[in-house]
Amino acid sequence: MADDTDTAAFVQSLKNDNTVRKTASDMRLFNKWLRCNNEMRLAEEIPVTELDKCLARFFMTVKKDDESNYEPQSVRSMQSSISRYLTEKCAINIMVDKEFHHSRDVMSAKLKQLKSIGMGAKTGKADPFTAEEVNLLYEKELLGAGNPQSLVRTVWMNNTLHFGLRSREKHTTLRWGDIQMKATTDGQQYLEHTERITKTRNGANLDTRAFQAKLFADIGNPRCPIQTYKQFLRRRPEDMVADDCPFYLGFSRPLDDNNNDIPSDDDAELLSASQEAELSFVLKDISNFGSNSKPVSATTTTGINEMPE
């Protein structure tokens, strides 16, 4: 019989470390609850009918050590952790298997109860820039399509605000094919972002987005994101529009005999197929532009590892 050690190691290597720790922590909590309720068997040893009842009571009664309630998302994540553990141990999925419909109903009721007492209210994550700051950045031509730097910054800001690409990793791994321009049946143009597989969104769980984010044209607005994207496309080299090409490119900087920048107001290609150093320069500029969620001098540089989260 073939040894599955290497395949098991392969699967383990791709697991997110935080997810592994979270699963272990939640299972310790569940096992402790089982023992406190005179159930000494491991969760995977309990018949499904009994296990469904145990889970239902656990979801209904679980509290912190100080007897305060967990946040709704914390209770929901416990369900996900237990499901991951049982799926790996004995091919049980408490999230979908019909044998566990009762514990799922109790979970839904528990979440409603917690929300009814004011728990789980989310405060929205602040946008990197206020409307006033955005207007100021356009006025100072730090945003817009007037030069390569401002064009790339504007595209970056649109991707950050509208597609939720807030981490450095999501921007550095972004590929041209991840964002595509499409149109509705009535001709309205929009951009659609398809999220790439990452350790946190790996395509192997139910927590991935069930939809693809869309950004529609703002017709008549000079800051229309579709027009900005078209400018970005028009100024890319022809060999850098394949789906797997890096999304962000370096700046093409024509120089005179004295190595000074030559101003250019035409529609010539302003973006270049970036070598690693060029891409690093672009990301440093963007990092500085977005650092601390406030507009700052474009002449200061920060390291690539300081890209805003």
**Range with lowest mean pLDDT among 78-92, 118-132, 135-149, 292-306:** 292-306
pTM confidence score = 0.48
Measured between alpha carbons, how far is 166 from 229 in angstroms, rounded to an integer? 19
CB 228 within 8 A of CB 148: no
E strands within the chain? Answer: 179-183, 189-193, 213-216, 250-251, 271-272
Torsion angle in degrees (nearest 10) through CA of 214, 217, 221, 222: 90
Kindly report, residue by residue over 209-251, the tens digit of the pLDDT: 445 788 899 888 889 999 999 999 988 888 888 998 888 877 6
More confidently predicted of 169 and 217: 217
Q: What stretch of H or E contains 230?
A: helix 225-234
Q: Which residue has the higher pLDDT, 113 or 272?
A: 113
Lowest mean pLDDT among 16-30, 113-127, 139-153, 175-189: 113-127
Token reading at 18 = 């935080």
* Angle, helix 17-36 to helix 48-61, in steps of 10 degrees: 100
Mean pLDDT over residues 50-54, rounded?
97
Average pLDDT over residues 82-91: 93
User: Mean pLDDT across the chain, nearest whole number?
Assistant: 76
Q: Which two tokens stand for residue 77?
A: 């994540």
Beta bridge partners of 251: 271
Q: What percent of the chain has pLDDT over 90?
A: 35
Regarding predicted confidence, which is higher, 1 or 96? 96
Across 268-275, average pLDDT: 46
Q: Decide if pLDDT at 164 tops 90.
A: no
Mean pLDDT, residues 168-197 taken together: 86
Is residue 193 classed as helix, strand or coil in its secondary structure?
Answer: strand
Is pLDDT at 298 greater than 80 in this prediction?
no
pLDDT in tens, 137-156: 888 888 888 888 888 889 98
Strands 189-193 and 179-183: antiparallel
The pLDDT, as a whole number, for residue 197 is 56
pLDDT of residue 133: 81
